[in-house]
Structures are given as structure tokens and as C-alpha cells.
Amino acid sequence: MSLEESDRTSIDPKGKADHLCVLVHGLWGTPSHLDYLAKSLREKHPEDKLNVLVAKSNSGSYTYDGIETGGERVTQEVEELLNEFIQGGTPIAKLSIVGYSLGGLIARYAIGLLYSKGWFETIKPINFTTFATPHLGVRTPLRGYHSQLWNAFGARTLSSSGRQLFTIDTFRDTKRPILSVLADPSSIFIRALSEFKTRNLYANIVNDRSAPFYTTAIASTDPFVDLDTVDLQTLDSYSPVILNPENPVSPKSTKEPLQPFYTRFTSGGQSLLTRIPLYTALIALIPVATVAWTINSGIQSFRSNKRIQLHEQGKGLDGYRIPLLMNGNSARSAVGGAFRRVNSAHGQDYLPESQDDDSDNLDASAEDLPKLDLKRTSSRKADFPTLALSDEQFEMIRNLDNVGFKKYPVHIRNHRHTHAAIIVRMQKPGFDEGKVVVRHWLDETFEL
């Protein structure tokens, strides 16, 4: 057992700290994935100032079981600890929660339950932070039959969590996907989110194949598709990793001169030749990997369904089966569409320019939105065209932006697995830029 693992069980309910920070890991995750975050928090804020809980109730394949099941588990874990502090005579007065990847969605569900049960009447919500969380789901904006086939296949390989991330689920009696309910202004989840003193998110601008920029940054455009065509504006003390949230990017005023044809031809040919061994290996391995993945997904989905049934039959859940919408009715009807996901290797599709103005009716005005979102009001100039998102996703953007997030684009260059590097999921030299992200989070945004 590592030092960090043993530390996770060392919270003293009779200690002096009255601030609890809860960390929630992502899909296929374990508490150890958050070791660097937890260690950094403890080094910055000693145990007499801050208690750190790394949620462990959704470890491994338990993350297949859906956002609501995961959220109920985390809520139960947090409530048990809060009650221990009350019994110990030092009740918690402040709460912060941090979600990584899928853990950010689970955290958004959990705070809704905590809010509805009255905890925020005695506990002040301080920091809500997400790292690489797919707030809009994982439906990449693509068109065509190949994308629809991939959407249909992918959404059914991760049990409940997969259907919810692809937004093809129907959540309880709402007749809507759970992500839509999580972003409904009349829901307990948005009410809870609005209670937090600070709301921050960190989003990779490149190479995050698990959760691309538009969904982790809650944006309708992706200005970072081709970095050769834009200038990045960074924060001086955290350059070149953290971009300026107020003005992260602008189109280049001058284009690079076009190289001679011979130079482009020879360099392209050399690039293709170097990739032939990789392509050959992929052709051989993809069919085998697909079969193995499908079999394993079937097994995990079966086990997940059994766990969900046992969870539903468990004791203590009555307090979590509460009205999700404060007015009892949805703000709008569900938008159809079963195919929501796409292979990350493909490019993104955009709305035709003729639809940009029409789709403005689905979104807030430019004055209501942070600059980072670079929404359709900017895309009219064709600098950053609007992505072909669903109506549902556009509404999620509007509602979440109305609550207000400070959005920090992250440019990790030294490793292609940016989804893991952003939180230093493991100790390796290529993940060192993630330490800059964590340092910025602790020094600039986290309030004690």
C-alpha cells in the first residue's frame, strides 16, 4: 500500500479542520489515479486546515454502473463521513468537490443530492472543479453513416455509463437523458452548482481522445483543431501550459508561406513511409482487439446490471429518490436522436453558415457568455465555425454557462495521453506538464 493510499483512511473526525475536499475519479478509475491531486492538496493545506477524501466506492468497473448510481455511492460515502465529524464534535463547515473525467459528472449528481438533503444549509460550498470532464457527453460532432454506426456500437459497450455519455438514455420518469437533467435550470443539480463560491474547469485543447475540448470546456466551437492557424495566449506564470481564460486564442494574422511542391511531396512521402509499419500492425490488431473488447464489454455490462439491481434493492436509498426538478416539470421536451458518439480519429463537422444564425435562438446572447466559449456570435466571421452539436447540447451549454464556470484551456505538448497527464495520473516524466496544471489550480483558484 502506497503512502497516498494509506493517507486516504487517515482522516480524523475529531481533528481541527472544518473544510472537507472530496475527490472523485473517472471511468475505469481507481482512487490511486488521484494520488497526485490528493498529495498536492495535503502539501499545500495541512490536515489542521483541510480534510481530503478520495472517494473509493466507484473503483474499477463500478464506474460502468451509471452517473446516478455512482453519484448515490459518493453521496453515501460523504454523508457517512460528515456524520462522523458531527459525532466527533467538529462538524464540517465548508465543502469542496473535485471531479476528474466521468467523476465530474458523478460529482455534479452528488452535490444535487447533498443540496436536496439540506447539507448546504449548514455547510458552505466553496470550490467545484472539474478536470477533463465531458459535460456535454461524448458525442463528437460528426455526420455520416460511419459515425452513426460507431455511435450505436460505442454507446452499448459501457453499460449504463455508456448510454448516458452518448446521451441515448432515458433517465427515470423525465423522458430525457441524464446529462440534460443535470443541466436543467430547475433541477436540484443546477441549484446545487450555483451555491459554490468558485466553479472552475480545466480542458485539454489537443490529444484528449477520451473527452475532447468542446465537451470539457462546455463550448460550441473548437478553435484548436489546427494550431498552425491560431496564436495561443498563455498565462505568464504558467506558460506554455495554461492559456489565458479571457483571451486564449486568436486567428493568425498572416499565414505561413507555402513550401515548394517538391519539399511538400518528399516530406509527405517520408511521413507515409514511416507510418506503414504502424498501419500494418493496426490492420492486424484491430479485428482481434474489437472482438476482445466486445466480449469484455458484454461481461462487464452483465455484471454492471447485476450490481445496479443490488444497489436499487439496498437500504438507505430512499433519501436519494427525490424530485429532481424543483417545479416538477421539465423546462422543455426531449430532443430525439439515438446516435451520439464518434471515433476520435475523425475530424469534426460544423453547422453550415446558413444555420448559424438560426441556431442562435438555442443559445444565450454574446453578452451573457464568457469569452472563452467563442460561441456562434464569433463564428459568424467563420474564424471558428460552430460545431454540429445537438439541440440538447446547445441547451446544456447555455444553462451551464448561465451558472458560470471559469474555464482554463490546457496545452500539454510532451505526451499524447493528455487525458491522463492533466492530473498526473501516474508518475512519468511526460506528465510533468500536468504538475503545472495542478499548481495553477491550488495557487490561483482553490480557496480554503
* Beta-carbon contacts of residue 263 (< 8 Å; ≥ 6 apart): none
| % of the chain exceeding 70 in pLDDT | 66
Give residue-wise pLDDT tens across range 89-117: 999 999 999 999 999 999 999 999 999 99
Q: State yes or no: pLDDT of 212 exceeds 90.
A: yes
| pLDDT, mean of residues 114-124 | 97
Residue tagged 459568424 (cell numbers): 380
Q: What is the CA radius of gyration of the chain?
A: 22
The whole-chain average pLDDT of the chain stands at 79
pLDDT attached to residue 321: 63
Among 139-153, 185-199, 326-340, which range has the highest average pLDDT? 185-199
pLDDT attached to residue 315: 52
Q: State yes or no: pLDDT of 422 exceeds 80.
A: yes
* Beta-carbon contacts of residue 374 (< 8 Å; ≥ 6 apart): 219, 220, 221, 223, 249, 384
Using CA atoms, how far residue 369 sits from 183, 242, 445, in Å, is: 16, 21, 20
- Alpha-carbon distance of 352 to 404, in angstroms, equals 28
Helices 432-440 and 35-44, interaxial angle, to 10°? 40
C-alpha torsion 277→280→281→286, nearest 10: 150
| Sheet of strand 406-410, all strands in order from the earlier edge strand to the far edge | 51-54, 19-24, 94-100, 124-131, 198-204, 406-410
Residue 231: CB atoms within 10 Å: 11
pLDDT attached to residue 265: 43
Sign of torsion over alpha carbons 25, 29, 30, 32: negative
- Alpha-carbon distance of 258 to 352, in angstroms, equals 28
Give residue-wise pLDDT tens across range 330-373: 333 332 233 233 334 445 666 665 555 444 444 443 334 344 44
* Beta-carbon contacts of residue 180 (< 8 Å; ≥ 6 apart): 167, 171, 174, 334, 392, 395, 396
> Which is nearest to 347 in space by CA: 173, 146, 177?
146
Residue 280 has phi, psi (to 5 degrees) of -60, -45
State the cell numbers at 7: 493517507
pLDDT attached to residue 299: 60
* Lowest mean pLDDT segment, chosen from 45-59, 245-259, 282-296: 282-296
Give residue-wise pLDDT tens across range 38-92: 999 999 999 999 999 999 999 988 888 899 999 999 999 999 999 999 999 999 9
pLDDT attached to residue 144: 56
pLDDT attached to residue 43: 96
pLDDT attached to residue 12: 77
- Alpha-carbon distance of 339 to 143, in angstroms, equals 10
| pLDDT, mean of residues 211-235 | 95
| pLDDT, mean of residues 164-193 | 94
pLDDT attached to residue 113: 97
pLDDT attached to residue 345: 41
- Alpha-carbon distance of 147 to 149, in angstroms, equals 5
pLDDT attached to residue 58: 93
pLDDT attached to residue 413: 96
**Contact present, 33 and 423 (Cβ < 8 Å):** yes
| % of the chain exceeding 90 in pLDDT | 54
* Lowest mean pLDDT segment, chosen from 74-78, 251-255, 319-323: 319-323
